Amino acid sequence: MTVANFLLLTSLLVTSGVLAETDDTLRICVPQKVYNDCVKMMEAGKAANIPVKCVSARDRYDCTEKLEGGKADFEALDPEDMYNVAVFGKDHFDVVKEIRTKEEPDAEFRYEAVAVVHKDLNLKNIKEGLKGLKSCHTGVGRNVGYKIPITKLAQMGVLGPLNDDSVSPRELELKALSNLFSKGCLVGTWSPHPETNIRLKATYKNLCALCEHPDKCDYPDQNSGYEGALRCLATGGDVAWTKVIFVKKFFGMAYGSTPAKPTSYKPEDYAYLCPDGSKKPITGPACTWAARPWQGYLASRDVAKEYKELREVISKLNNLGENKHADWITSVLLLSDKTVPVDNKVISPGEYLKKAKYFDVISRNFVVPGHQTRICVVKQAELEKCEALAKVAFSRDIRPKLDCVLKRNTEECLQAVKDKQAEVYIADPQEALLADKYNLKALLNEQYNNVDKQELVAVVKKNSQFKDLASLKAKRACLVQNGKSGFNAVLKYLIEKKLISNSHCPYEKAMTEFFSSVQQSDDPVECLVFGQGDVAFVPYSALHKTAKDDVEVLCKDGSRKPVDKAEACGLVTVPPRMVLGRADLSVVHLDEVRHSLLTAGKTFSEHPEYFLMYGDFKGEANLLFSNHASGLVAVKDVVPAFEEYKLLVKDLAVCNA
C-alpha cells in the first residue's frame, strides 16, 4: 500500500465513522481524483439532512466494479463509460437519471447529429450522391462531425473500401473521406505523432481545402466546430455535419426557451439531408443520423427499490450545490450552473446507447484484418491493469485497439515481441539494456512533467538531522524495487563524490558497506515514511503525489529544502521507462503503435478519472507505467539519458568483472 493509499484509507475510515449514521445511506462512487470534493459534498449534505456517503475508487472503471461488488450504489458517468458496462457482462445496472441542459431540459438526447445541405442540391441518393461533394466537418475525432458520419456512411456502403491494411486505422478513415469528397474542412490533430500529423495532412490535403487556414488545418479556424461547419457550408461547401441546436442558432431560429433572432443566413435555403437520401426543411423537424446520449447516473439494481429516493437525493444535492456555488457539483456530480438532473425512464446502459443509435459509433473498428497493439506483461497484476486499460481505451475511440499478452519474465516478453506475438514491451532502463539482443528499440518513452528523464533526489524525514550524503554513512537506504537503474545511479553519485572509491569492487558490496542496509521498495518514500529507511532515493517528479509535509530533500549544496522548492536538488539523472518494439517494424505498424499508445497516454493523463494509467492499480505502484509519469512521447532517434546510462553500466561492469 502506497502512502497516498494509506492516507486515503485513513481518511475513509475517519469519514465513514463520523458521517455514516444509517446503513441505508446511499453510497456514491467517485474517482480518487475528486474524493476530497466528495467529502465536502457529503458534509454539506449531512448538514442539510441529505444522506449520502462517498466511496473512493481508482477511476470510473473501478467505480463500476465497486457497484458490481456491492460496495457502492451509484455513480455519475459518460456514455462511453456506459458502453463498458454494457459490453462486459455487467447487465444488472440501470441509468436512473440524466444530466440535461437547462437550455433544453426536455430534449431526449444531449445532441442530435445531422447533415445539412443547400436546399437545391441535386442528390438522387446517398450512395451515389455524396461522391465528389465538398464536405464540412466539426473536427477530426469528434462525434457529430467525424465518428458518426464515418460509422453510418461505412455501414451504408458509401464510405470505403475499409479493408486496406496497408495503412493505420486513422489513415484508413482519412483516406476514405479524401476519396469520397472532393474538398473538405477537417481541422485538428490527425495523429498524436507530430511528423505523422504533417505527413497525413500533406497526403490528404483536399480535406483541408475549405478551411480558413488550409495550410494549418487546425484550431482555431472559423470553418471548424458546430457553427463553423455551417459557415463552411454557406461559403462554398455542399454538406455540413453538425448538431441540431447549432443549426437553429446559426440560422436564427427559436430553440428551447430562446426566441428567434435575425441572421444574415436564410434558413429556407437549406435542408436536412436524411440517411435515406431525402431532404427536409431545416425549419421543421430534423432527420438525424445518430445522437449522443446525455451523461447520467448509473445505479445497481440491488437498490432498485430505492430509485425514487436516489433520484431525490441527486436533485437535492444539485440544488444545495447550486445555492452554495460549490465546486463539487461539477467534479463529483458532473453538473454545472447550466445543467440539471432529470428523471428518465429507467433503462439499461446498452439500450440507452442503442436508443440514440450511438452504440455502433463507439464500437466502430474498420481495420480488416483487425490490427492490435499488443502489450506484453510479466505478471498477473500487470495483465489485469493492461486488460482494463484496453477496455477503457477502446470505448474512448483509441484505435487500433490495445490487447495484452502474458509471459513469465522480461526475456520471454522481449522474445515475444521479436517473434511478432506482441508489439511492445514497457521496460525500465535496466531491462532496456537487453533490447539490442532481441533486435528491439525504443519507440516511445515516458515523460515526467514534459521532461524525458528523471532527476533522482535524496529524501529524508523532516525531523532528521542529516545534512548531506556523507552524513548518511552506515544509515539505511530505500531504493526503487524494479530493476537496478536507481541503484546504479546512486552508486555513480557516491563514486563521483568520492564517498565510495572507484577501485572498491564489486560495487554492490561497496554500496552495502556504505549504507547499513539497502531496502528495495515499489515506493521508496513509503519505505522512508514507515520507518524502514533513513533516506529514500526517488525521482523528483514522483514527490508531487506523496506526503510532502513529512519530508525534505537533501541538496548538493548541503542545504535541505521542502519538496515544492527542491526542483534543482537532483543528484543524478535516471533514464525514463521506454516502450520497446521491433526495430524492423513497418511504417504502418509503427504508426499504429504510436497512435494507440500516444493517444492513450494523452487521454488518460488529461482525464485520470476515465482510467488511472499513471498511478496505483489495486494497491500496487508503477505497474506498466510509472506512477509519476505525465505522458508518453515518441522517440525520434535515441533517448539521450538512456545512452548515458548505458555508458555508466559499461563502466560499472569493468569494476564488477
Residue numbers belonging to the annotated binding site for hydrogencarbonate: 138, 142, 145, 486
CA-based nearest residue to 448, from 577, 556, 546, 551: 577
Q: Which residues are annotated as a binding site?
A: 78, 111, 138, 142, 145, 226, 428, 486
Q: What is the DSSP letter of 563?
A: G
| Contacts with 627 (C-beta within 8 Å, 6 or more apart), sequence order | 2, 523, 542, 545, 614, 615, 616, 621
CA distance 83 to 595: 22
**CB neighbour class for 80 (10 Å; exposed up to 12, middle 13-18, buried from 19):** middle
378: cell is 510479466
CA distance 178 to 132: 9
523: cell is 515506493
| Contacts with 410 (C-beta within 8 Å, 6 or more apart), sequence order | 378, 425, 427, 431, 434
Q: Which residues are annotated as a binding site for Fe(3+)?
A: 78, 111, 226, 428
The dihedral built from the CA positions of residue 54, 60, 61 and 67, taken in this order, carries a sign that is positive
Q: What is the DSSP string of 292-358?
A: EPPEEEEEEGGGGGGHHHHHHHHHHHHHHHHHHT-THHHHTT---TTEEEEEEEEE-HHHHHHHTT-
Residue 71: HSE in the Cβ half-sphere, 13 Å Cα cutoff: 12
Q: Which strand (E) or helix (H) includes residue 57? A: strand 52-57
Q: Are 251 and 234 in contact (CB under 8 A)?
A: no
CA distance 232 to 240: 8
Residue 355: HSE in the Cβ half-sphere, 13 Å Cα cutoff: 15
CA distance 31 to 57: 5
Q: Are strands 111-118 and 372-377 parallel, antiparallel or unpaired?
A: unpaired
CA-based nearest residue to 615, from 623, 607, 19: 623
Q: How far is CA 262 from CA 117, 252, 253, 272, 469, in A?
A: 21, 6, 8, 21, 74
CA distance 131 to 412: 50
Q: What is the DSSP letter of 259?
A: P
Q: Are 633 and 642 in contact (CB under 8 A)?
A: no
Angle at 362 between CA 356 and CA 368, to 5 degrees: 130
What strand order describes the sheet that includes 74-77?
Answer: 52-57, 26-31, 74-77, 295-300, 93-101, 339-347
Q: How far is CA 380 from CA 52, 374, 386, 486, in A?
A: 35, 16, 10, 24
